[in-house]
């Protein structure tokens, strides 16, 4: 596709359940980022993938959060045993990596944990 | 860790007025970025700044990279209703990675 796509666009789940959020970056972009945006807040960095390098996981808030990127393209952010405070918009972005720093964002997944 | 202080948190202005917002940091960044986010969408890059002292324009928008590399401002001239949204500053270290730190955003409201 022409831009970054994310699915689902909205997710409602019950506390304690696991959720998976998907990100399809722009074709050819080697860098992929996940951010969390709580209501009325800025973007909180979660994790960054660059090519085959080890990801920068320094922003993951707890061990309930994990992410993987298969084949250098699609990425999945997994939240285990969701808590109400996990409710937020999860944004994915991609960039050309070392060839370009500009990040292009997807529309986000709105997660609500009841 | 690195933090960006963005101000003001919100602005209520009349159409046609000029707007100024800024970001400061205790850390040095090699790249400053300004994004705009419309409701229900992801942020969109407005201006990227790569050199200390750099002044860059994009239509009615002008942004500057502070000399100390610890601050940046964004000006919007002759505001229009579609300028409404959240404006984020962001800084990148750019060395060995592209981790990006975002400010909390400035919410702009424009009254026609």
pLDDT tens-place string over residues B38-76: 988 899 999 999 888 999 999 999 999 999 989 999 999
Could you tell me if B12 and B74 are in contact, meaning their C-beta atoms sit under 8 angstroms apart? Answer: no
Q: Residues A53-63: what's their mean pLDDT?
A: 90
Q: Residues A29-38: what's their mean pLDDT?
A: 92
pLDDT at A99: 57
Cβ contacts of A101 on chain B, cutoff 8 Å: 31, 48, 92, 94, 98
Give pLDDT tens digits for A66-88: 999 988 799 999 999 999 999 99
Could you tell me how far CA B52 lies from the centroid of its own chain? 15
Bridge partner residues of A24 (DSSP): A5
Residue B3 pLDDT exceeds 80 = no
pLDDT band, very low/low/confident/very high, at B95 (cuts 50, 70, 90) = low
Cβ-based neighbour number of residue B102 at 10 Å: 22
pLDDT at A51: 85
Cβ within 8 Å, pair B97-A93: no
Residue A101 pLDDT exceeds 80 = no
Q: Which residues 54-83 of chain A have a CB within 8 Å of chain B?
A: 56, 58
Q: Tokens 């979660």 identify what position?
A: A46
Share of chain B above pLDDT 70, in %: 94
Cβ within 8 Å, pair B102-A42: yes
Mapping DSSP to helix (H, G, I), strand (E, B) and coil, where does residue A24 land? strand
Cβ within 8 Å, pair B45-A41: no
Give pLDDT tens digits for A6-16: 999 999 999 99
Cβ-based neighbour number of residue B43 at 10 Å: 28
d(CA A69, CA A39): 27
Residue A48 touches chain B, beta carbons under 8 Å: yes
Quote the DSSP letter at residue A98.
Answer: T
């Amino acid at each position: 596709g022409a831009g970054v796509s994310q699915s689902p666009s909205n997710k409602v789940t019950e506390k304690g359940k696991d959720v998976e959020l998907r990100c399809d970056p722009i074709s050819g972009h080697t860098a992929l980022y996940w951010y969390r945006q709580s209501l009325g807040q800025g973007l909180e960095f979660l994790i960054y993938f660059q090519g085959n390098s080890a990801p920068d996981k320094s922003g993951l808030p707890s061990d309930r959060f994990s992410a993987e990127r298969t084949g250098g393209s699609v990425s999945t952010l997994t939240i285990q045993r969701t808590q109400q405070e996990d409710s937020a918009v999860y944004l994915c972005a991609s960039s050309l990596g070392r060839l370009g720093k500009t990040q292009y964002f997807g529309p986000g997944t709105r997660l609500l944990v009841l | 860790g690195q933090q960006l202080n963005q101000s003001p948190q919100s602005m209520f202005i009349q159409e046609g007025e000029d707007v100024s917002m800024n970001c400061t940091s205790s850390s040095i960044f090699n790249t400053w970025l300004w994004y705009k986010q419309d409701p229900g969408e992801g942020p969109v890059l407005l201006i990227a700044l790569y050199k200390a002292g750099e002044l860059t324009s994009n239509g009615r928008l002008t942004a500057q990279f502070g000399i100390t590399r610890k601050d940046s401002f964004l000006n919007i001239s002759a505001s229009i209703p579609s300028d409404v949204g959240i404006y984020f500053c962001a800084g990148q270290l750019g060395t060995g990675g592209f981790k990006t730190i975002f400010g909390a955003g400035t919410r702009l409201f424009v009254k026609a």
